[in-house]
Amino acid sequence: MQSMDKMIKQLALLLMVFLSVPTWVNAQTTHSQQGNTLEVNVAFVELHSGPGWAYPVTNVIEKGESLSIERKRGAWIKVIDRRKNQGWVHIDAFKQLTTATQKISDLAISQDDYLARDWEVGVLFGQMQEATYYSLNLSYQFDTSVAAELTAGKVLGQSSNSDIYSLQLTMHLFPDWTVTPYVSAGGGYMHIQPHSVLAQAETRSHTLMLAAFGLKYHLARNFVIRAEAEQALALTDRDLNEDLTIWKLGISAFF
């Protein structure tokens, strides 16, 4: 069990270091794909007046013409040509457009959905001290940078099990990056239940003060990989409060 917990901790740390390296590169790639002029690489592309097949075709852009991306709604992309004609292209046709001879990736297309998300739900696994940790997380995004997150976690230790509930405010430092660093702070509650085999063991409850740093990687479509290091201060009725470190690694989906 200890070797597994140690491996989880090392994997979480490795992922955080690994993902922090390409953060700037990913950000530049996303901006260049969404801001540059794209060339039509098929016979023609039909522009609809709205984001749906029911909207009439208002313009036809022929091969060799250029388009710029405006925004995305569902499976439709709004584009504008060099004559300032605007219209909507279905995502399947949009993938045929090229920039520097490279097809636009699904990741770039779904980036607007990621920034416009309202809710995010996920699971995290990791280690708290020498114990196994897992949690269910639900967050609401107020805007592209600020979110509130509710967490219900479980800690499985050798001498006791614990339930942790917390509410934190999260700030995404660079929300438009594919790999997004974030910080969070808040409070919570920890209930510790010793194993029944221990003599004179008492059930305890502590108020928690929490702070965390993490990274989110927009994997594809509606999925995000997440790595986090959290520091918790348990306010006890003893002479000294207790410092706790939690390493987490998991996946979430947004909608």
pLDDT at 96: 66
pLDDT at 115: 80
d(CA 61, CA 69): 14
pLDDT at 162: 95
Question: Can you tell me the mean pLDDT for 235-247?
Answer: 87
CB 43 within 8 A of CB 64: no
Six-digit token pair at 226?
Answer: 């997440």
d(CA 239, CA 255): 46
Is the model's pLDDT at 55 over the cut of 70?
Answer: yes
Q: Please report, rounded to a whole number, the percentage of residues in the chain having pLDDT higher than 90.
A: 41
pLDDT band with cut points at 50, 70 and 90 for residue 15: low
Is the model's pLDDT at 143 over the cut of 70?
Answer: yes
Is the model's pLDDT at 104 over the cut of 80?
Answer: no
Name which of 85, 77, 140 is nearest 111 in CA terms: 77
pLDDT at 200: 63
The structural domains of the chain, ordered by start, are 2-26+116-254 (2.40.160.20), 34-114 (2.30.30.40)
Question: Can you tell me the mean pLDDT for 196-219?
Answer: 84
Is the model's pLDDT at 221 over the cut of 50?
Answer: yes
Rounded to a whole number of angstroms, the CA Rg of the chain reads 24
pLDDT at 178: 78
Name which of 120, 145, 121, 137 is nearest 246 in CA terms: 137
Edge-to-edge strands, sheet with 37-39: 57-62, 44-48, 86-90, 76-81, 66-73, 37-39, 98-99, 102-103
pLDDT at 21: 45
* Tens of pLDDT, residues 148-196: 999 999 999 988 899 999 999 999 998 888 789 999 999 999 999 888 7
Any idea which of 94-103, 128-137, 226-235 has the lowest mean pLDDT?
Answer: 94-103
Name which of 188, 136, 129, 135 is nearest 160 in CA terms: 129
* pTM score of the predicted model: 0.67
Question: Can you tell me the mean pLDDT for 43-52?
Answer: 87
pLDDT at 101: 43
CB 23 within 8 A of CB 179: yes
Is the model's pLDDT at 141 over the cut of 70?
Answer: yes
d(CA 84, CA 105): 25
